Structure 1
Amino acid sequence: MLRARGLRLTAPRQFVLEAVYRLRHATPDQIHADVAERAAGVNITTVYRTLELLEDLELITHAHLSHGAPTYHPVGDLAHAHLVCRGCGAVEELPERALVGLVGELRETRGFRLDIGHVALFGLCGSCTPEGEPC
């Protein structure tokens, strides 16, 4: 895809793309740390520029799963929202079909088209919820 757009597939670009696929949901700092293990000369600025390029090419996308940096993941995944535990920080994928009712209602009542990939629902996972506590 890069070559089709007249761009070169450089080693840093390859390393960043591979890191996103390997880590699944990762911040730029996490991606940089992963890339640095393979290529010490790749700096954080290169990682940010590469993430922006790869997102423009629709190879990856991002979601905001905390107040910090965006979290990147592959586009090739099935459309999904994210469940983010405020206790342990775990991120789980929630299939698009789980939100079909909400997506339909928003479209019908408000003409709003929800971008599932950017949806993050925050709460406590089963491991962090005290026994017997109601939702």
Structure 2
Amino acid sequence: MTPPPELAPLEVSESPVDKFREYLEIRGEKLTEQRRKLVDHIFNSHKHFDADELVSDLRHSGSRVSRSTVYRTLRLMVDAGLLRELRLTNRTAYEHNYGYPSHDHMHCTGCGTIVEFRNDSIRRIREEIGDQFGFRADNHRFIITGMCPECLRARSRRRKLDQI
């Protein structure tokens, strides 16, 4: 199976930091140095992560950000439209929402791998269903759960050993 091509970032008019600053100002809050570090760190690479992984990454990079600040800031970043929350089988993961095209996911319940993909048929179905009910659909979340090829191969080898 060939993995789907990586999704390319979209052109955006504001940086993630500027967009977050604007969102916070509307709420009467400030973009603190810790919050700015979080946004910079998260948008420095495109990957799926959970809060604990983010805390660990920050510690390894030498950034001093408290766990409670990480959790509160992630919630604010989701509310601001910068991040998207993915509720998976055994954890909640986050990914970039701002500056990335709409897409869907496959989640391996064996190893936890998350694969992004785009499929125009899914978008057409979303629009058709919306039209059918007079609903203007502007987004959706679609996560296929199952086993990736590597986990299926490993599982198959274990089963053969069980037969000995």
Q: Same fold (TM over 0.5)?
A: yes
Conserved in 2, the CA contact under 8 Å of 1:20 and 1:26? no
Structure 1 equivalent of residue 36 of structure 2 = 14
Structure 2 equivalent of residue 59 of structure 1 = 82
How many residue pairs end up in the alignment? 130
Identify the match of residue 73 of structure 2 among 37, 40, 50.
Answer: 50
Residues 30, 111 of structure 1: alpha-carbon distance in 2 compared, 3 angstrom cutoff: farther
Identity value in percent: 26
TM-score by length of 2: 0.65
Q: Does 1:37 align with 2:60?
A: yes
Question: Alpha-carbon deviations, 1:53-96, whole Å to 9, x = none?
Answer: 2222211121112232x211111211111100122211000215
Unaligned runs of 5+ in 1: none
1:1-135 paired onto structure 2 within 5 Å: 1-4=19-22, 5=25, 7-21=29-43, 22=45, 24-68=47-91, 70-75=92-97, 76-110=99-133, 113=137, 115-116=139-140, 118-130=141-153
Q: Over the residues paired in the alignment, what is the CA RMSD in angstroms?
A: 2.8
Unaligned runs of 5+ in 2: 1-18, 157-164
Conserved in 1, the CA contact under 8 Å of 2:89 and 2:109? no
SS in structure 2 opposite 1:79? coil
Tell me by how many angstroms 1:106 deviates.
Answer: 2.8
Work out which of the two has the higher radius of gyration on C-alpha atoms and give 1 or 2: 2
Tell me by how many angstroms 1:16 deviates.
Answer: 1.8
Conserved in 1, the CA contact under 8 Å of 2:111 and 2:151? yes
Report the residue type matching 1:10 in the other structure.
Answer: T
